[in-house]
Amino acid sequence: LRVVQLDGEGYFEVAHNAKRPFIVKTKRYNIKVLGTTFNVYAYSKRTDEFEASLINGSVDVSARSDIGRKHIFLKPNEKVVEIDGLLQKQTIGSLDRFKWKDGLIYLDDVPFGELMKKFSVYYDIQIVIHNSKVYNYRCTGKFRQSDGIEYALRVIQKDLNFQFVRDDERNVITIK
C-alpha cells in the first residue's frame, strides 16, 4: 500500500501497480488511484474547499467518514468538488488551472473574492476586503507566483480602483 497524507494541493503522476494501490488521504476524503495523472486541492488551513481532478487514468474518491459512504469514479477530464457538503462530478473546463505546478496562476473570469481566496492560499497570507465595490470585478489572466502578491495586486489595480495595505507583523493584506 502506498499512502500520502495531503493538506494543500498536489499534482500526482502515479504508475499502475495492482499489488500496491496508491491512496491520497485528505482531511475528509480519500482518493484511490488506479494508475493516473491527477490533481487534488484540499487545504484545511485557509479554506474548506475540496476538488480532485483527473487528467489521465482513473481514480475512486470516497468520504473518510462512515456517514454516506459514497464512491465517485472519475474518467479523464472530470473532477469532483464538494458543494454544500456533497460531492458533485463536473467536467474540467481548462487544464490551465493546473499550471500552478509550473509556478503560474491562471485565471479565467474569476470573481475578485474568489481570487483573493486563491491568493490567500497560494501566498499564505490572510486577505481582508473592506471595499464592497471590488466584488463585481472578474479577473482573466495569469501571474507568475514568484512575482509575489503585491505585484499581482498592482496589476489588478490598473483595471480596478482599490488600495491595499500589507501588515507583515500580522501577515494580513487589507483591501480598501
The answer to whether the beta carbons of residues 52 and 80 sit under 8 Å apart is yes
Using pLDDT thresholds of 50, 70 and 90, give the confidence band for residue 50: confident
The CA-based angle 102-104-110, given to 5 degrees, is 140
The CA-based angle 171-121-40, given to 5 degrees, is 155
Q: What average pLDDT score do residues 7-12 get? A: 90
Mean pLDDT of the chain: 88
Long-range contacts of 96-101 (CB under 8 A, 24+ apart): 96/142, 97/53, 98/11, 98/39, 98/53, 98/55, 99/142, 100/9, 100/11, 100/145, 101/11
Res 107: pLDDT: 87
Q: Kindly tell me if the per-residue pLDDT of 66 is higher than 80.
A: no
